[in-house]
């Protein structure tokens, strides 16, 4: 046990000790007797035998030692490392957007989903951006967050084509755009075959940036020619969405016949040669199998000579064929159309064989 005195729990003990000392001096009690008396009193009142009554060291405040324990340290579990596998190349997406003519448009990628942001002139332009991004390998979805540049009227145009007509519709900003669209269509169609009645000119419309070409055609040569011509236009964004349908049986039969037995004409004239008579007889027989058909008889020339002369000559030759078939008793609807050199089968013409292939009569179901 330590020799140091312990602190008592009774706070009145120091006062009692002082009082007894005063009484002992005034009464003449010897110190030893008084100390014993105080020992007994302290014991009776819950004191401790080791209490200091003033005969030893003075009463001292206990020393308080505070110890701050550091908080328990725990090592957090290491976060699972995540590796994002980029399914689509952002560089390729941006290249496609810039190639489409929209360098101000940006994109971000989340898996196979691409989000496009930025400003475009009109809604049609936004559609072009979305379609071009969808063409990137690996892209499955596109989130369109594009903004339209102005509140001006939307400017958009579409060309709907058939075998014998092109209908241009939409809204454009000026007559110059109308002339340009007609010029494009005139690569394949005669002027009277181009319809612009549904094309509206609005001076406040946004600039035209996109033209959509749609339609269903059975002629693969014409489809290829349209795609190649419109694909070469850099001033406009042109989407060609043509559908090739199955060629009707009547066309297949007539094409097969004319491949081996073409209808030939005198050089530079609209009259048929004597050898063409047998071919015309067979054509009349085939047409007789389709009494409800409406047929376009198309005349085509090579590229030699002027456009106006070729146009006139091809029209006259087509009309000659219709007259010959009427003489053979064909009563179905027949329409003669001369295309001149608008629709070459072989282009460019480099040999006489190429020219001969382009000089022809075609029968197409209307």
Task: Summarize pLDDT for 128-175 with one digit per residue, the tens.
Answer: 999 999 999 999 999 999 988 765 667 889 999 999 999 999 999 989
What does the pLDDT look like over 72-104, one tens digit per residue? Answer: 555 555 555 555 456 789 999 999 999 888 998
Domain span at 340: 249-365
Look at residue 103 and tell me if it is in a domain: yes
Over pLDDT 90: what percentage of the chain?
61
The average pLDDT across 9-30 equals 54
Q: What is the pLDDT of residue 122?
A: 76
> Pick from 244, 268, 288: which residue ends a domain?
244
**Residues 177-183, mean pLDDT to the nearest whole number:** 92
**50 in Cβ contact with 5 (< 8 Å):** yes
> How far are the Cα atoms of 65, 257, 284 from residue 330, in angstroms, in the given order?
124, 17, 6
What local confidence, expressed as pLDDT, does residue 55 receive? 44
Tell me the C-alpha distance between 106 and 28, whole Å.
109
Question: What residues contact 224, with CB distance under 8 A and at least 6 apart?
Answer: none
Q: How far apart are CA 196 and CA 178, in angstroms?
A: 8
Tell me whether residue 71 is in a domain. no
User: Count of domains in the chain?
Assistant: 4
Is residue 327 predicted with pLDDT exceeding 90?
yes
Q: Which pairing describes strands 333-338 and 141-148: parallel, antiparallel, or unpaired?
A: unpaired
Measure the CA angle with vertex 287, ends 333 and 334; round to 5°: 20
Task: Identify whether the C-beta of residue 178 lies closer than 8 Å to the C-beta of residue 207.
Answer: no
| Same domain flag for 256 and 360 | yes
Given a cut of 90, is residue 352 above it in pLDDT?
yes
Whether the pLDDT of residue 106 is over 50: the answer is yes
Query: 348 preceded by cis ω (within 30°)?
Result: yes
Q: Which residues contact 153 (CB under 8 A, 6 or more apart)?
A: 171, 202, 204, 205, 206
Tokens of 225: 């020619």
Q: Are residues 299 and 335 in the same domain?
A: yes
* Same domain for 185 and 133: no
Same-domain pairing of 238 and 296: no
Residue at 69 is within a domain: no
**pLDDT value of position 30:** 52
What pLDDT is attached to residue 251? 95
| pTM beyond cutoff 0.85 | no
> 149 or 3: whose pLDDT is higher?
149
Residues 225 and 327 in one domain: no
Same domain, 257 and 360: yes
Query: Domain of 256: which CATH number?
Result: 3.30.1330.60
pLDDT at 57: 46
Together in a domain, 259 and 358: yes
Residue 66 lies in a domain: no
Q: What local confidence, expressed as pLDDT, does residue 155 receive?
A: 84
Cα 187 from Cα 191, distance rounded (Å): 10
Residue of higher predicted confidence among 76 and 22? 22
225 & 138 share domain = no
pLDDT value for 51: 46
- Which pLDDT band, with edges at 50, 70 and 90, does 71 fall under? low
18 shares a domain with 37: yes
* Residues 334 and 361 placed together within one structural domain of the fold: yes
Residue 76 lies in a domain: no
Instruction: With a cut of 70, say whether residue 3 has pLDDT above it.
Output: no
> Confidence band (pLDDT; 50, 70, 90) for 109?
very high
The answer on pLDDT for 318 being more than 80 is: yes
Q: How far apart are CA 128 and CA 124, in angstroms?
A: 6
Residue 77: inside a domain: no
Q: What percent of the chain has pLDDT over 70?
A: 75
What's the pLDDT band for 48 if we cut at 50, 70, 90?
very low
Classify strands 141-148 and 113-120 as parallel, antiparallel or unpaired. parallel
Higher-pLDDT residue of 101 and 341 is 341
Q: What is the mean pLDDT of the chain?
A: 83
Considering the domain architecture, whether residues 349 and 253 belong to the same structural domain is answered as yes
- The pLDDT of 315-328, averaged and rounded, is 98
Residue where a domain terminates, one of 117, 148, 179: 148
Residue that finishes a domain, picked among 110, 131, 148: 148
pLDDT digits (tens, 9 = 90+) for 274-309: 999 999 999 999 999 999 999 999 999 999 989 999
Q: Which residue shows structure tokens 């419309």?
A: 205
What is the per-residue pLDDT across 219-273, written as a single tens digit (0 to 9) for each?
Answer: 888 999 999 888 888 778 889 999 999 999 999 999 999 999 999 999 999 999 9
Residue 84 lies in a domain: no
232 shares a domain with 168: yes
Q: Which residues, other chains included, contact 65 with Cβ-Cβ below 8 Å and sequence gap of 6+? A: none
Which of the four pLDDT bands, split at 50, 70 and 90, describes residue 1? Answer: very low
Alpha helices in the chain (DSSP H): 13-27, 31-44, 90-99, 123-134, 175-185, 220-231, 249-260, 276-287, 307-327, 352-358
Q: Which of 111-120, 139-148, 315-324 has the highest mean pLDDT?
A: 315-324
- Helix and strand element counts for the chain (H, E): 10, 11
Q: Is residue 317 part of a domain?
A: yes
Q: What is the pLDDT of residues 58-67, one digit of tens each?
A: 444 445 444 4
From CA 11, how far away is CA 100, in angstroms rounded?
A: 95
Ordered strands of the 141-148 beta sheet: 106-110, 113-120, 141-148
Q: Are 338 and 185 in contact (CB under 8 A)?
A: no
């Amino acid at each position: 046990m330590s020799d140091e005195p312990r602190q008592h729990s009774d706070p009145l003990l120091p006062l009692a000790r002082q009082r007894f000392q005063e009484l002992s001096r005034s009464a003449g009690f010897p110190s030893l007797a008084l100390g014993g008396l105080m020992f007994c009193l302290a014991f009776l009142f819950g004191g401790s035998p080791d209490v200091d009554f003033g005969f030893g060291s003075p009463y001292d405040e206990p020393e308080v030692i505070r110890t701050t324990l550091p908080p328990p340290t725990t090592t957090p579990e290491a976060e699972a490392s995540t590796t994002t596998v980029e399914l689509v190349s952002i560089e390729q997406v941006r290249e496609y957007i810039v190639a489409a003519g929209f360098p101000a448009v940006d994109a971000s990628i989340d898996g196979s989903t691409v989000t496009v942001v930025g400003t475009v002139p009109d809604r049609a332009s936004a559609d072009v951006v979305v379609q071009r991004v969808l063409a990137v390998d690996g892209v499955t979805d596109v989130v369109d967050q594009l903004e339209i540049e102005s509140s001006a009227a939307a400017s958009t145009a579409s060309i709907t084509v058939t075998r014998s007509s092109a209908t241009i519709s939409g809204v454009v900003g000026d007559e110059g755009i109308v002339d340009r669209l007609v010029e494009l269509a005139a690569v394949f169609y005669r002027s009277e075959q181009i319809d612009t009645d549904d094309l509206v000119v609005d001076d406040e419309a946004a600039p035209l940036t996109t033209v959509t070409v749609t339609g269903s055609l059975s002629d693969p040569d014409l489809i290829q020619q349209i795609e190649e011509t419109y694909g070469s236009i850099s001033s406009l964004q042109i989407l060609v969405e043509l559908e090739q349908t199955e060629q009707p049986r009547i066309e297949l039969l007539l094409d097969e016949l004319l491949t081996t037995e073409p209808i030939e004409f005198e050089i530079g004239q609209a009259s048929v040669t004597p050898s063409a008579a047998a071919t015309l007889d067979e054509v009349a027989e085939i047409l007789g199998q389709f009494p409800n058909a409406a047929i376009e008889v198309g005349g085509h020339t090579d590229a030699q000579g002027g456009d106006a002369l070729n146009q006139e000559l091809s029209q006259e030759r087509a009309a000659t064929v219709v007259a010959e078939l009427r003489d053979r008793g064909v009563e179905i609807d027949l329409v003669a159309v001369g295309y001149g050199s608008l629709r070459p089968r072989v282009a460019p013409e480099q040999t006489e064989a190429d020219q001969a292939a382009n000089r022809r009569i075609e029968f197409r179901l209307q």
